[in-house]
Amino acid sequence: MSAHAPHESRKHHENHAVPVITIDGPTASGKGTVAVLVAKKLGFHYLDSGVLYRLVAMKLVQAGEDGANEAAAVRAAESLDPQFGPEGQVLLEGVDVSADIRADGIGLQASRLAVHPAVRQALNVIQHRARRAPGLVADGRDMGTVVFPDAPLKVFLTASVQARAERRYKQLLEKGFSVKLEKILHDLQERDHRDAGRAIAPLKPAADAFWLDSAGLTIGETVEKVLAAWQQRQ
């Protein structure tokens, strides 16, 4: 899936009126699950921007490359043609990689390649295409600050690193991965530092973001708070 930037810029301008809710936050803050449920409640489309970076990371790993290799990462991003199934499946070149791309190793490679401006530019083209009527809920790290800065609701979903590590630990165990909580905690701390400290599109809340700490909330309660914030902006 590819397109030239001028065409995409024009297309993005044409769908500027389509409403967007962005949900940004650190790894394992629950933003993906919350975004999916909010999208379903509102009948909006859903965009998981992190999946795109993980797919690029998977292509690099399959090719024996590393996320730090900018040229290889750009080639992988520009040739990316993802498919998404009706139940949230993610396919890469016809193969269902929904579970594989959630491995922590892939996540770390995705974080490494996300620092390259040309990679982000290539993936922004794909992300802008997702802005279709009646609306879009997009989750990631720079959805509200860079990709959709005009979104009427920008949520910044956060939680302590310990709470997020325990959440990720349970998720991976349920999916059959053999993991250690201490390693997950270390990896999250490393990724938080990298994501917040990178020069290009660092992880940070938008100036007008709606802050929401999910640590003491159920998924349902978090969703309701996002929906209530959306209603206030209508």
Q: Which residue in 146, 155, 123, 136 sits closest to 53, CA to CA?
A: 123
Determine if residue 220 is labeled as part of a ligand binding site.
no
Q: Give the DSSP letter of residue 102.
A: G
Determine if residue 27 is labeled as part of a ligand binding site.
yes
21 touches 135 (CB < 8 A): yes
Tokens matching residue 194: 């990298």
Determine if residue 30 is labeled as part of a ligand binding site.
yes
Determine if residue 122 is labeled as part of a ligand binding site.
no
Determine if residue 86 is labeled as part of a ligand binding site.
no
CA 16 distance to own-chain centroid: 21
Residues 6+ apart with CB under 8 A from 63: 72, 76
Tokens matching residue 202: 């660092």
Hey, how many other C-beta atoms are within 10 angstroms of the C-beta on 145? Answer: 22
Determine if residue 31 is labeled as part of a ligand binding site.
yes
CA–CA separation, 232 and 228 (whole Å): 6
Determine if residue 85 is labeled as part of a ligand binding site.
no
Q: Go through the chain and tell me how many residues it has.
A: 234
Tokens matching residue 55: 């797919």
Q: Which amino acid is residue 32, in one-letter code?
A: G
Determine if residue 145 is labeled as part of a ligand binding site.
no
Residues 6+ apart with CB under 8 A from 147: 22, 49, 124, 127, 128, 138, 140
Determine if residue 28 is labeled as part of a ligand binding site.
yes
Annotated binding-site residues read: 25-33
Annotated binding-site residues for ATP read: 25-33
